[in-house]
Amino acid sequence: MNGGTMRNVSLVAGMLLVSSFFSINAEETKLLFPGTTAPSFSLPTLMGDRVALSAYCGQTLSKPFVNKIRRTVVLSFWATYCKPCQKELPQLAAFGEKHKADNVLVLCISVDKDGEAAVAPFLKEKGYAIQALLDPYMKTSERYGVKSLPSLFIIDTLGVIRYCSQGFNEKSNFGEKLEKLFAGIKSGKTVAKAPEIAGSEQVAIVGDSSALHKGNPAPANPSTPAPAKFTPHQKWSAIAKVECGEPAEKVASEIGVSVEELKKWREELKAAAIKIWTPEQK
């Protein structure tokens, strides 16, 4: 094997090493599996109050003097720029209203960076009757492994995640599905063992919603980069998918960037691999 071939082999190995490192770390941020205790949080409402998950479900309620009844909690992570979220939110509101007497609480957590300034006018315009919580720094969404929207979690009265999904499938009857899931949880059945990809309609979380907060959707054309800020883990995870055979167009569309942007990330990965492996080739 000549020197040029050896160098190419080393470079490919280096890229795979770097890609594997970041992919492993990216795996750690996947949606939490059913059976996991739901991470606690205390988030502000549009009125400035705070809502804590532990006040409504868990082994011990944190505010029994305010609420002594454990609830089944439905969490939806969403944003004003997310078109599939706009299809899901009204149905979540209807489900919550229908089962209010069944001790069901629906909480819709916005990850809009602009917080109340983005969410309040959007909800007023759309007329959605939801309990909106604000997670502008995305600390709670990160703890739940949320990387795209909408992401749905159903948490039982003892604070255990019993179901979670990513995306919205317009072809399925979402309301009917919620009813079946709730019935299964009430009866103590195993509802799901792994996160479900509900459909192809999902939107990557963007870093700045200032130009989108009035209900305008994120750019739908995959050739136009979304104004997103991606972590190194997300970038290398996307490149790893392409290297493993997934079409670049599909990966780019899923996370809301252009194919050209993916190529740029690959060059960054290549440069990092060269930097790692060059000392060994001297």
Q: In CATH, what number is assigned to the domain containing residue 160?
A: 3.40.30.10
Whether residue 16 is contained in a domain is answered as: yes
- 167: domain range? 42-204
Provide the 3-class DSSP secondary structure of residue 37.
strand
Contact 164, 194 (CB under 8 A): no
What pLDDT digit, counting tens, does each position of 203-256 carry?
A: 988 864 333 333 334 433 333 333 345 677 678 777 887 877 777 776 666 666
Q: How far apart are CA 196 and CA 166, in angstroms?
A: 6
Give yes or no: residues 19 and 48 share one domain.
no
Contact 73, 105 (CB under 8 A): yes
State whether the Cα torsion 35-36-37-42 is positive or negative. Answer: negative
What pLDDT does 269 receive?
Answer: 82
Whether residue 151 is contained in a domain is answered as: yes
Give yes or no: residues 197 and 223 share one domain.
no
Contact 203, 176 (CB under 8 A): no
What pLDDT digit, counting tens, does each position of 92-118 carry?
A: 999 999 999 999 999 999 999 999 999
Whether residue 47 is contained in a domain is answered as: yes
At 177, list the tokens: 């599905």
What pTM did the predictor assign?
0.65
Give yes or no: residues 117 and 230 share one domain.
no
Evaluate if residue 38 carries a pLDDT over 90.
yes
Give yes or no: residues 251 and 162 share one domain.
no
Q: Which residues contact 4 (CB under 8 A, 6 or more apart)?
A: none
* Total domain count, the chain: 2
Contact 50, 44 (CB under 8 A): yes
